[in-house]
């Protein structure tokens, strides 16, 4: 029986989450095009350079937070339901967390878009970018919206844990099905990681923005943010890994190489994700070098689970290709289904993540980070990671998942087959040029990165060639977003029934099954305790140093960012 018929409520929640995610992708993706044209100087007619920061905040929040997290909540609802083969325990909780996340998103969105109307006396803005570093101040509803959104994700995790406990009571002694294990392990990591941003926003920034407390310590706020800000990247990545481990092997025509190895990888992310956050603060004064060195060591450890993933997933793809006649050391690549848009998008996303991972390794080196920090190199890195490893995986798996949760056959299939290639080419152009421009010293997060007397010298074709690549890449990426949304929109408007879906949701058993692997792998409580100890080791002493300094230090009052002149007239 099709998923949509067997689990209609869960299918509806998955569709709702995808719907919010794709609308965020449309708006955020358009702003990405505006940014590429504006900051390269090719066209600055969409917005003024002061409005650029409203655009950039919207681009970051809508794509890095709303698109990714709503999508993963839809994917996780499907994965838990499918793998446990049971509906949610109480759909009121399910629609409750969706409603809370949506309300939080709407509040934060009003604050952000209010920035376009600052000149009309509407003093609501949030031009603080997606990291909302104080002392820049946003309107209180921005922070309140963020808090509601995070609580919504906590309740979503509770919903999935309730399904698991209900399943456990009927399947005593059985191993947790792999997809459910991946969801629960990701949520364990998320609960630990969000403590930082929850304290920053609820204890400090909401009262600070309401005038209930006068100052906050910017360094302490940044530290609480990056306590969360590094592991959030794995909250985006692990849903993609769930797809790469459990769906990509099937689409390749094969089976997952090893279930136990997949569980080891997710456990390593529980343990190692949060302790590395200081690697975003190598340049911050006030944090002793020793703590930064520990963060660097932790960061290099966290390469391991991804390198294991590269091995396992590629081995699974090769197994699939060889089942279909693939031969040779790499000739088997030709036997993969490159005409299947779900496979192609997911495989190209993984390939691109290899490059993103290696630029992450460069970022992680304390000394070399001095060269790339706050330059365009960093956006080059994260457009390969969250911008492709996660985003392209989410788009591509939708070609396979949406027909199952809607019962509708994918429309515009020819457009879907080309879309991943357009994205891939656009991102190769834009990201490589961003990395290289960053090495010339081009800064990130600026509307007009030209400065009197400053000449960016170097590179094959000079800064002009890089600017051109960024613009062409940005245009291709927007075209790829438009193609994806056209396919999703046409399918959504289409009717059920008629020809078969082209997809089926069955997932073959792994080559190496969980049976016989140590039962301790499934002991999530143990892994959470060890992770909490590692976090305490990494953060207690530096935080104490900051807090004791922080209480004594004057701190900063809120600095309202510009209330912008109207863009319309």
What share of residues in the chain are helix, strand, coil (percent, to 5)?
70, 0, 25
Among 427, 249, 416, which residue's Cα sits nearest to residue 340?
416
Q: What residue is closest to Cu ion based on CB?
A: 230
Separation of alpha carbons 264 and 261, rounded Å: 5
Residue 406 backbone dihedrals phi, psi, to 5 degrees:
-115, -20
Which of 65/466 has CB closer to Cu ion?
Answer: 65
Using CB under 6 A as the criterion, what x/- string covers residues 119-158 for binding ligand HAS?
A: ------------x---------------------------
Is residue 502 annotated as part of the catalytic site, yes or no?
Answer: no
Return the residue of 196, 239, 345, 360 that touches ligand HAS, per CB under 6 A.
Answer: 360
Task: Please report how close the Cβ of residue 426 comes to Cu ion at its closest, in angstroms.
Answer: 24
Among 99, 118, 102, 108, which residue's Cα sits nearest to residue 140?
108
Is residue 230 annotated as part of the catalytic site, yes or no?
Answer: yes
Return the residue of 299, 335, 388, 393 that touches ligand HAS, per CB under 6 A.
Answer: 299
The one segment of 227-235, 388-396, 434-442, 476-484 that binds Cu ion by CB under 5 A: 227-235
The one segment of 38-46, 112-120, 379-387, 460-468 that binds ligand HAS by CB under 6 A: 379-387
Peptide bond preceding 135: is omega within 30 degrees of 0, i.e. cis?
yes
Residue 378 lies near ligand HAS (rule: CB under 6 A): yes
Catalytic residue, chosen from 279, 383, 436, 467, is 383
Q: What residue is closest to ligand HAS based on CB?
A: 357
Is residue 413 annotated as part of the catalytic site, yes or no?
Answer: no
CA distances from 378 to 226, 372, 382, 385, 438 (A): 15, 7, 6, 11, 8
Residue 216 backbone dihedrals phi, psi, to 5 degrees:
-135, 155
The one segment of 11-19, 23-31, 378-386, 475-483 that binds ligand HAS by CB under 6 A: 378-386
Task: Please report how close the Cβ of residue 493 comes to ligand HAS at its closest, in angstroms.
Answer: 31
* β-strand partners of 556: 216
Quickly tell me which residue has 């939708």 as its tokens.
398
CB atoms within 10 A of CB 377: 24
Is residue 168 annotated as part of the catalytic site, yes or no?
Answer: no
List Cβ neighbours of 521 (8 Å cut-off, separation of 6 or more). Answer: 260, 263, 264, 267, 514
Return the residue of 11, 141, 237, 481 that touches ligand HAS, per CB under 6 A.
Answer: 237
Which of 361/454 has CB closer to ligand HAS?
Answer: 361
Return the residue of 11, 56, 314, 561 that touches ligand HAS, per CB under 6 A.
Answer: 314
Among 419, 415, 404, which residue's Cα sits nearest to residue 29?
419
Catalytic residue, chosen from 222, 280, 444, 467, is 444
Return the residue of 57, 81, 335, 363 that touches ligand HAS, per CB under 6 A.
Answer: 363
Extract the tokens encoding 189.
């990591």
Task: Please report how close the Cβ of residue 60 comes to Cu ion at its closest, in angstroms.
Answer: 15
Is residue 382 annotated as part of the catalytic site, yes or no?
Answer: yes
Query: Number of residues in contact with ligand HAS, rule: CB under 6 A?
Result: 36
List Cβ neighbours of 563 (8 Å cut-off, separation of 6 or more). Answer: 115, 118, 119, 123, 125
Task: Please report how close the Cβ of residue 74 comes to ligand HAS at its closest, in angstroms.
Answer: 18
Catalytic residue, chosen from 230, 409, 436, 467, is 230
**Angle (CA) 418 420 423, round 5°:** 110
β-strands 136-137, 559-560: how paired? Answer: parallel
Among 209, 128, 115, which residue's Cα sits nearest to residue 556?
209
The one segment of 13-21, 225-233, 370-378, 449-457 that binds Cu ion by CB under 5 A: 225-233
Return the residue of 39, 82, 222, 230 that touches Cu ion, per CB under 5 A.
Answer: 230
**Angle (CA) 189 548 203, round 5°:** 50
Contact positions vs Cu ion (CB under 5 A): 230
Query: Which residues are known to be catalytic?
Result: 230, 234, 381-383, 444-445
Contact positions vs ligand HAS (CB under 6 A): 131, 233, 236-237, 244, 279-280, 299, 302-303, 306-307, 309-310, 313-314, 317, 347, 350-351, 353-354, 357, 360-361, 363-364, 369, 373, 378, 381-382, 385-386, 389-390
């Amino acid at each position: 029986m099709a998923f949509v018929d067997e689990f209609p409520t869960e299918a509806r929640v998955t569709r709702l989450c995808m719907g919010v995610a794709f609308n965020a992708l449309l708006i955020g993706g358009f702003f990405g095009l505006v940014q590429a044209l504006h900051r390269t100087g090719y066209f600055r007619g969409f917005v003024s350079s002061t409005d650029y920061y409203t655009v950039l905040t919207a681009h970051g929040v809508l794509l890095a937070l709303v698109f990714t997290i709503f999508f993963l909540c839809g994917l996780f609802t499907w994965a838990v339901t499918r793998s446990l083969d049971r509906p949610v325990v109480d759909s009121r909780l399910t629609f409750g967390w969706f409603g809370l996340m949506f309300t939080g998103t709407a509040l934060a969105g009003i604050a952000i878009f209010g920035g376009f109307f600052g000149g009309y006396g509407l003093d609501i803005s949030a031009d603080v970018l997606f990291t909302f570093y104080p002392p820049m101040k946003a309107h209180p509803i921005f922070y309140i919206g963020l808090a509601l959104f995070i609580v919504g994700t906590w309740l979503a995790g509770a919903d999935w844990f309730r399904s698991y406990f209900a399943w456990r009571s009927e399947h005593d002694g059985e191993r947790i099905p792999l997809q459910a294990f991946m969801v629960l392990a990701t949520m364990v990591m998320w609960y630990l990681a969000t403590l930082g941003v929850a304290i920053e926003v609820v204890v400090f920034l909401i009262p600070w923005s309401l005038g209930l407390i006068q100052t906050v310590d910017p360094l302490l706020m940044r530290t609480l943010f990056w306590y969360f800000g590094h592991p959030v990247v794995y909250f985006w990545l692990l849903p993609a890994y769930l797809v790469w481990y459990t769906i990509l092997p099937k689409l390749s025509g094969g089976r997952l190489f090893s279930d136990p190895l997949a569980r080891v990888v997710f456990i390593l992310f529980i343990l190692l994700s949060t302790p590395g956050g200081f690697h975003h603060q190598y340049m911050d004064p006030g944090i002793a070098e020793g703590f930064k060195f520990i963060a660097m060591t932790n960061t290099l450890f966290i390469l391991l689970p991804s390198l294991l993933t590269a091995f396992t997933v590629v081995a699974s793809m090769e197994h699939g290709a060889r089942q279909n006649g693939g031969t040779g050391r790499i000739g088997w690549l030709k036997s993969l289904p490159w005409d299947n848009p779900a496979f192609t998008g997911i495989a190209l996303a993984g390939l691109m993540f290899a490059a993103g991972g290696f630029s992450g390794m460069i970022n992680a080196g304390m000394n070399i980070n001095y060269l790339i920090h706050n330059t365009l190199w960093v956006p080059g890195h994260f457009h390969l990671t969250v911008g492709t490893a996660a985003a392209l995986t989410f788009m591509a798996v939708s070609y396979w998942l949406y027909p199952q949760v809607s019962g509708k056959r994918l429309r515009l299939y020819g457009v879907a087959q080309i879309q991943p290639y357009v994205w891939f080419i656009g991102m190769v152009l834009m990201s490589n040029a961003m990395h290289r421009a960053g090495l010339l010293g081009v800064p990130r997060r600026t509307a007009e990165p030209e400065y009197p007397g400053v000449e960016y010298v170097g590179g094959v074709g000079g800064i002009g060639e890089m600017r051109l690549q960024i613009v062409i890449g940005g245009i291709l990426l927007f075209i790829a977003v438009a193609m994806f949304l056209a396919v999703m929109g046409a399918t959504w408007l289409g009717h059920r029934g008629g020809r078969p879906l082209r997809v089926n949701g069955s997932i073959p058993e792994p080559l190496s099954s969980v049976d016989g692997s140590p039962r301790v792998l499934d002991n999530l409580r143990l892994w959470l305790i060890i992770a909490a100890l590692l976090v305490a080791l990494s953060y207690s002493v530096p935080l104490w140093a900051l807090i004791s300094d922080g209480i004594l230090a004057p701190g900063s009052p809120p600095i309202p960012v510009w209330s912008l002149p109207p863009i319309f007239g």
